[in-house]
């Protein structure tokens, strides 16, 4: 999970295939369990990678693995965010620009992982699953059509009047679950004596006990974060602020992008200024890996006062603890219904929906790369084309003996950083 936190540019949905690659293997996690965890992570509030780490850790090793995994996946991004904000006054916007230049190559590797995951689901063994493909296309159009139009508008003289309506990630998953529930009801009414399938993989004895312990452990993490208000000097404002952090987390559905609006309403104006939030915290959080919700909360806490580092740690604990505890509680209820027709249909049909969502995420990553190119004074089309080219190159490099994911990521990041720097010198 710490590795995922380091390479996790794109955040949220972009990390689903990254975490699947690390977790789904013999001795760790069964594919059906990861699918169920993905569903739970998408329908509960908070940071998706943190929740996935907590849920998977609960299954694999209980409360200890859940807590350490959730912390590990968020820690690199939060530490880098706080460190970069601390240096921001000295280094200025150039520090963020350097990170964004390297992120062009790193997101290219994420694009490769997204494509690999989608192909594995939609065309296992090279055979296209037609129904799954249609579901994925519908999901992509529902969530990514507007972003695709915006991306094409970077290169083509399109004159679009008004924005193309889109569903959020949460809206897509909820709509899919409703349709699956209706489909399951129709199936049940047609064949009420349907026998349970025999290929179910038991979640393992004691999941209920492990889940309860994990939920309690995450509540303790939350309490430890809130406890900072007791030891820090002040007039009670620290406790109120950390309470707002927790409340903003439990009301944040739809991933990190949705949290930006939530954080604006909770913190901008009464905790940090709009200039600091949109001029420092948000650009830094977007440029670095890891779940953006936790990075923004920690960044706001760091910028809130002289005790910033300690308050950032407290905000980190509160966000991780709150969203993970809720996700684990939902896991316990979900697991009890694992033999039902509804849960089996969810396991069957939700992955194509997630594939459509990941396709939308890929478009968002390319659109972000176009934005980075524009801010660096570079034409967007060659930069986006280079990102796609590196994504195509990634599997070829991985076939070379001894070349690991981390090496490929470092090479891609260094290549795009050097290319952007060189292009800036030439253009200037």
Residue 263, in any domain of the structure = no
CA-based max dimension of the chain: 74
Are the CB atoms for 10 and 113 separated by under 8 Å?
no
Tell me the per-residue pLDDT of 338-357, one tens digit each, with 9 for 90 and over: 667 877 787 778 778 878 88
pLDDT of residue 205: 45
CA–CA gap between residue 47 and residue 45 (Å, rounded): 7
Q: Indicate whether 107 pLDDT > 50.
A: yes
Kindly report, residue by residue over 12-39, the tens digit of the pLDDT. 777 888 899 899 988 888 888 898 898 8
- Residue 138 burial (10 A CB sphere; 0-12, 13-18, 19+): middle
In a domain, 197, yes or no: no
Beta bridge partners of 25: 29
Q: Which residues are within 8 A (CB) of 55 and not within 5 positions of it... i.e. 6 or more apart? A: 37, 40, 41, 66, 327, 328, 331
- Determine which of 92-106, 154-168, 213-227, 241-255 has the lowest per-residue pLDDT on average: 154-168
Residue 95 forms part of a structural domain:
yes
pLDDT tier, 46 (very low <50, low <70, confident <90, very high otherwise): confident
Segment of 11-20, 149-158, 334-343, 396-405 carrying the highest mean pLDDT? 11-20
In a domain, 252, yes or no: no
Nearest CA among 348, 295, 354, 320 for reference residue 80: 295
Is pLDDT of 321 > 90?
Answer: yes
Instruction: Give residue 428's pLDDT.
Output: 61
Q: Is the pLDDT higher at 418 or at 397?
A: 418
**What's the pLDDT at 89?**
64
The closest of 267, 249, 264 to 321, measured between CA atoms, is: 249
Q: CA-based Rg of the chain, rounded to a whole angstrom?
A: 22
User: In total, how many domains does the chain have?
Assistant: 1
Is residue 110 assigned to a domain? yes
Q: How much is the pTM?
A: 0.71
Give the pLDDT band of residue 280 (cuts 50, 70, 90): confident
Position 277 in a domain = no
Question: Among the listed ranges 85-89, 95-99, 375-379, 420-424, which one has the minimum average pLDDT value?
Answer: 95-99
Sign of CA dihedral 346, 164, 112, 98: negative
Report the alpha-carbon distance of residue 332 to residue 329 in Å, rounded: 5
Residue 302 CA to residue 312 CA, distance in Å, equals: 5
| pLDDT bracket for residue 70 (50, 70, 90) | very high
29: β partners: 24, 25
Q: Give 124's pLDDT tier (boundaries 50, 70, 90).
A: confident
- pLDDT surpasses 50 at 137: yes
Q: In terms of Cα–Cα distance, which of 87, 68, 75 is closest to 6?
A: 75
Q: pLDDT-based confidence at 43, cuts 50/70/90?
A: confident
Structure tokens at 104: 């062009």
The whole-number pLDDT of residue 353 equals: 86
Structural domain boundaries enclosing 91: 2-191+329-427
DSSP output for 22-79:
HHBBTTTB-HHHHHHHHHHHHHSSS-HHHHHHHHHHHHHH-HHHHHHHHHHHHHHHHH
Mean pLDDT of the region 140-160: 79
> Does 274 fall in a domain?
no
Query: Which range among 254-258, 261-265, 312-316 shows the weakest confidence by mean pLDDT?
Result: 254-258
Burial category of 219 from C-beta neighbours within 10 Å (exposed 0-12, middle 13-18, buried 19 and up): middle
3-state DSSP assignment of residue 24: strand
Contact present, 351 and 131 (Cβ < 8 Å): no
Instruction: Tell me what pLDDT residue 187 has.
Output: 87
3-7, 184-188, 272-276, 314-318: the lowest-pLDDT one = 272-276
Q: What is the dihedral of CA 255, 95, 275, 104, to 10 degrees?
A: -40
Q: What is the pLDDT of residue 73?
A: 95
Residue 428 token pair: 């200037």
Instruction: Kindly indicate the confidence band of residue 256, based on its pLDDT and cuts at 50, 70 and 90.
Output: low
- Give 201's pLDDT tier (boundaries 50, 70, 90): very low
Q: Quick one: what percent of the chain has pLDDT higher than 90?
A: 24
Q: What is the pLDDT of residue 278?
A: 67
**CA dist., res. 54 & res. 338, Å (int):** 19
| Percentage with pLDDT > 70 across the chain | 86
**Average pLDDT over all residues of the chain:** 82
User: For 192, phi and psi rounded to 5 degrees?
Assistant: -65, -20
């Amino acid at each position: 999970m710490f590795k995922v936190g380091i390479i996790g540019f794109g955040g949220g949905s972009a990390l689903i295939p990254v975490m699947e690659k690390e977790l789904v293997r013999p001795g760790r996690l069964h594919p059906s369990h990861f699918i169920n965890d993905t569903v739970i992570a998408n329908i509960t509030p908070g940071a998706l990678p943190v929740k996935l780490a907590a849920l998977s850790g609960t299954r694999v090793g209980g409360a200890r693995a859940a807590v350490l995994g959730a912390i590990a996946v968020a820690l690199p991004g939060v530490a880098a965010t706080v460190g970069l904000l601390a240096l921001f006054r000295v280094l200025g916007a150039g520090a963020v620009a350097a990170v964004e230049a390297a992120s062009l190559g790193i997101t290219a590797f994420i694009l490769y992982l997204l494509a690999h995951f989608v192909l594995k689901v939609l065309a296992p063994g090279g055979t296209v699953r037609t129904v799954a493909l249609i579901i994925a296309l519908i999901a992509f159009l529902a969530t990514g059509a507007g972003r695709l139009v915006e991306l094409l508008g970077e290169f083509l003289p399109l004159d679009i009047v008004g924005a193309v309506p889109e569903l959020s990630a949460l809206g897509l998953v909820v709509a899919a679950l409703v349709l699956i529930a209706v489909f399951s009801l129709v199936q049940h009414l047609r064949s009420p004596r349907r026998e349970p399938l025999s290929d179910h993989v038991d979640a393992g004895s004691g999941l209920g006990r492990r889940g309860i312990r994990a939920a309690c452990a995450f509540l303790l993490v939350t309490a430890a974060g809130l406890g900072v208000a007791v030891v820090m000097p002040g007039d009670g404002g620290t406790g109120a602020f950390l309470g707002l952090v927790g409340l903003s987390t439990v009301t944040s559905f739809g991933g990190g992008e949705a949290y930006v609006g939530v954080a604006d309403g909770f913190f901008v104006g009464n905790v940090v200024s709009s200039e600091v939030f949109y001029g420092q915290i948000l650009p830094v959080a977007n440029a670095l890996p890891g779940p953006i919700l936790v990075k923004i909360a920690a960044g706001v806490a760091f910028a809130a006062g002289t005790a910033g580092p300690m308050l950032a740690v407290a905000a980190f604990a509160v966000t991780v603890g709150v969203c993970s505890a809720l996700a684990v509680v939902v896991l316990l209820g979900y697991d009890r219904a694992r033999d039902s027709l509804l849960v089996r249909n969810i396991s069957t049909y939700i992955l194509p929906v997630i594939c459509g969502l990941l396709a939308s995420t890929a478009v968002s990553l390319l659109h972000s790369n176009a934005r980075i190119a524009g801010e660096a004074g570079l034409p967007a089309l060659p930069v986006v084309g280079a990102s796609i080219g590196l994504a195509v190159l990634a599997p070829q490099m991985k076939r070379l003996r001894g070349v690991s994911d981390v090496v490929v990521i470092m090479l891609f990041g260094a290549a795009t950083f050097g290319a952007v720097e060189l292009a800036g010198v030439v253009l200037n």
